[in-house]
Chain A
Amino acid sequence: MGKLWAVVKREYVERVRSKWFVIATVLGPVLMAAMIVVPIWLAVRSSTSAKASNIVILDATERDLGKVVAQSLGNDIQGDSSLARVRRVSPAELAQAESTVTRDVIAKRFEGYLVLDSASARGTTARYAGRNASTIPDMEKIERTVEQAVLVNRLREAGLDAERVQEISRVKLDLKTERITDQGRGGSGAGNVAAAFGASFVLYMLIVLYGQTILRGVIDEKNSRVAEVVVASVKPESLLGGKVLGVGCVALTQLAVWTASMILIVKYRAPILARLGAPNAPVPVPDVGFSAALTLLAFFVLGFVLYAALFAAIGAMVSNEQDAQQAATPVTILIVMSAVFIQPVMLNPTSTMNKVISWIPFSAPILMPVRISIIPVPWYEILLVMLGLIVACLVCVWLAARIYRVGILMYGKRPSLMEVARWIKYAR
């Protein structure tokens, strides 16, 4: 037990002390902060763009729709009513006017031009061409404005006076979402989808990263021949177990630091945003209870042990990194396939196929957390999947220990599957 502890301690301390670990651990929260703060900041930034107003409106509607659009564009806080210019043209002259104004846009006198014709007046289509045609906030703003203007025109034609029209048509709706579970209402649905995606992605990343770490560690011990010194003192099973536990603790440390900083960033986002000169914006906060978090953690630990054992067995089979990458391909495919299914499962967590996929022990560690975060999953289902995962873990660890015991002292060419089968059979 003391020796196993010594191995765990070495694996943990040596890795946590490494530069790579420190950089990754610090960089993680910085990236996460960027993921939360930058979009808000950008959103605030991009909506201040006055470009959407600096356009020419070619009005071929003969109903003065252009004027209404120009007014609304100018009415915005950031807009400037003097910027938008309305040119009334007849439908026949439209092509000519467009080529003229295109030259203006090329000469940077305007950002772009909007064509309003009879179809626009009916509220079906409108055309826009300009330098900012791919800027989504600008386009959304123009689209909304035209819709609004069509509505205003219709109301006016129905006989309402201008002021009443303004009053009635001013609507700016923000849809707030909330999730209902068996326990009742709480949290935002968007937050949970984000949490599901974030959690499964982080789990996937940690399993891949630290699985590879174990693979490299085993090969390194083999190549540097240090394995023989160590197995002369401890059982190979203890070395394998200590390695998986030690590296697992490193991964958990990283996970803990990341989670804590995530919580802090969400909590103190207002001062951070204020520093950047952006107003506070609501961030979808996931509703993850203590028991759900514990379930996530259990899935991570089991998934990690499962894949770590497989990677360790592969490390014991090969003698160099090139062979290792090749030999690890089946395991890599298993984990990557699980990641590929994150999105389908997220979009449709209740379909039978996605359910079954999330039950398979190799993909359960990544896909079950997704389903648990998005929809209520019955406890017995979680329990059964977890049991299956535990059984798979035991089998893989047993196989890995046998392969490891023989392989760790084998050098030279990569063994065939038959040879590995023999190792498993005869390892003592």
Chain B
Amino acid sequence: MAELALDIQSVVKRFAQHVAVRELSLQVPQGAVYGLLGPNGAGKTTTIRMILNIIMPDQGSIRVLGRSNREPKLLDRVGYLPEERGLYKKMQVRRLLRFLAELKGISAREADKRIGPWLERLTLKTAEKDWGLSKVDELSRGMQQKVQFIACLLHDPDVVILDEPFSGLDPINAQALKDTVIELKRRGKTILFSTHLMESAERMCDSVCIIARGEKVLDGSVEAVKSEHGIRHVAIAVANQSTDGVRSLLDDPRMVKSVDDQNRFFEVELADGANPQELLRRVVALGVPIERFELIQPSLHQIFLDRVGAKGVEAGVTGHG
């Protein structure tokens, strides 16, 4: 799995009035769930469109599964769920799905074989009703979302790109989408999705890239990003009678910067360079019953606000966006 699923190098895209993406580089390893995070107008959709060769970058290169994304048929291995969902309204669902599969190089016969199970899986086909035989505009919005999702995955792509997949989804569909993403990952597929919803990104992603105003703010695995930005707080709680031992332990200034005694637990700010695992070992060595030992990391949301907020000010100075 050394090969990268996506390798974007110094990509630049300018539009008439502004620069949508500047010098963006990012690498997505195969089998990863990768989040492309950023506020509206950050250049997420432009980046995704460039990956899919819908628009061409002015500079830089994009490789998908180790090959240039301009190679014919390569993008047949990529599934795409655009932010603005779109289906032919007057077409029958099955025929539409067959058509979209054919565009990805799947034969009509093979597509027909796959459509049935997918419809059943997303409850578009039940004992009473087969929505696959209805026209798209007879379906509810939620059902149309499901159809769009099937269209994105019907050709069993190795790389799945979802642009704001959670926007406009009801909780049930959002859950179904999350389950499917996890299942795709289990099957070794690579998933890249853009979102501005940090909670879902934090729960699902292995790695993230935060961009703002067309530029990368940070990227890396979720753990790395968090530890890098962690204020490194640890919450420790032990059975009531053993608190004294812990207190003496926390007096070590090489380990602990400050302690906030919260009565029910201690909130500890670690000293620079201190390893929380070492602290845990020491607490365990005390031999007291531990009720809680938790690394309190800042949420992606917090990091996002900190970093993008600062970036926004800079961008304001340079005067675009």
Contacts and interface: CB of A to CB of B under 8 A. Distances in A.
Contacts of A13: 95
B151 A232 contact: no
13 contacts: A3-B102, A3-B103, A7-B103, A14-B88, A221-B86, A225-B85, A228-B82, A228-B84, A229-B82, A229-B148, A230-B100, A233-B100, A233-B103
Contact of A227 (B49, B86, B151): B86
A381 B88 CA distance: 45
Which range holds the interface residue count of chain A? 20 to 34
Interface in B146-192: 148, 151
Given A6-B99, A232-B52, A233-B100, A226 B75 contact: no
Interface string A60-92: 000000000000000000000000000000000
B319 to A, nearest CB: 23
B90 interface: yes
B91 interface: yes
Contacts of B85: 225
Interface in B58-91: 75-76, 78, 80, 82, 84-91
A175 B292 CA distance: 113
Contacts of A220: 89
A233 B89 contact: no
A417 to B, nearest CB: 15
Interface in A202-252: 220-221, 224-234
A144 to B, nearest CB: 59
Contacts of B16: 422
Nearest to A223: B86
Given A221-B86, A227-B86, 5 more contacts: A2-B105, A3-B102, A3-B105, A10-B99, A409-B54
A233 B56 contact: no
Contacts of B104: 233
A185 interface: no
Contacts of B148: 229
B315 to A, nearest CB: 24
A232 B105 contact: no
A406 to B, nearest CB: 9
Nearest to A427: B56
B119 to A, nearest CB: 18
Most-contacted residue by chain B among A3, A7, A226, A230 (CB, 10 A): A226
Interface in A125-139: none
B102 A6 contact: yes
Interface string A4-23: 00110110011000000000
A227 B54 CA distance: 10
Given A224-B89, A228-B54, A428-B56, A233 B75 contact: yes
B224 interface: no
Classify the interface of chain A: helix, strand, loop or mixed.
helix
Interface in A390-428: 409, 422, 428
Interface of A: 2-3, 6-7, 9-10, 13-14, 220-221, 224-234, 409, 422, 428
A9 B88 CA distance: 14
Contacts of A9: 99
Interface residues of B, number: 28
Contact of A229 (B56, B80, B102): B80
Contact of A224 (B52, B78, B88, B95): B88
B75 A232 contact: yes
Contact of A226 (B56, B76, B87): B87
A230 B87 contact: no
Contacts of A232: 52, 54, 75, 78, 80, 82
A225 B91 contact: no
A130 B43 CA distance: 82
A21 B310 CA distance: 60
Contacts of A14: 88, 90-91, 95
The 3 nearest A-B residue pairs measured at CB: A225-B86, A226-B86, A233-B103
Contacts of B133: none
Contacts of A224: 86-89
B157 to A, nearest CB: 11
Contact of B86 (A229, A234, A428): A229
A220 B86 CA distance: 10
A323 B112 CA distance: 39
B11 to A, nearest CB: 15
A13 B90 CA distance: 12
Contacts of B100: 229-230, 233
Nearest to B76: A233
A221 B102 CA distance: 18
Contacts of B91: 14
B260 to A, nearest CB: 51
B284 interface: no
Nearest to B105: A2
A6 B54 CA distance: 19
Contact of A228 (B86, B88, B95): B86
B55 interface: yes
Contacts of B102: 2-3, 6
A319 to B, nearest CB: 13
B55 A409 contact: yes
B88 A234 contact: no
A225 B105 contact: no
Contacts of A422: 16
A220 B88 CA distance: 8
Nearest to A231: B54
Contacts of B89: 220, 224
Nearest to A422: B16
Contacts of B99: 6, 9-10
A234 B104 CA distance: 8
A3 B78 CA distance: 15
A229 B151 contact: yes
A117 to B, nearest CB: 71
A339 to B, nearest CB: 30
A218 to B, nearest CB: 13
Contacts of B56: 428
A10 B148 CA distance: 18
A9 B102 CA distance: 11
Interface string B218-240: 00000000000000000000000
A276 B256 CA distance: 108
Contacts of B76: 233
B103 A6 contact: yes
Contact of B88 (A3, A226, A231, A428): A226
Contacts of B103: 3, 6-7, 230, 233-234
Nearest to B107: A2
A359 B103 CA distance: 40
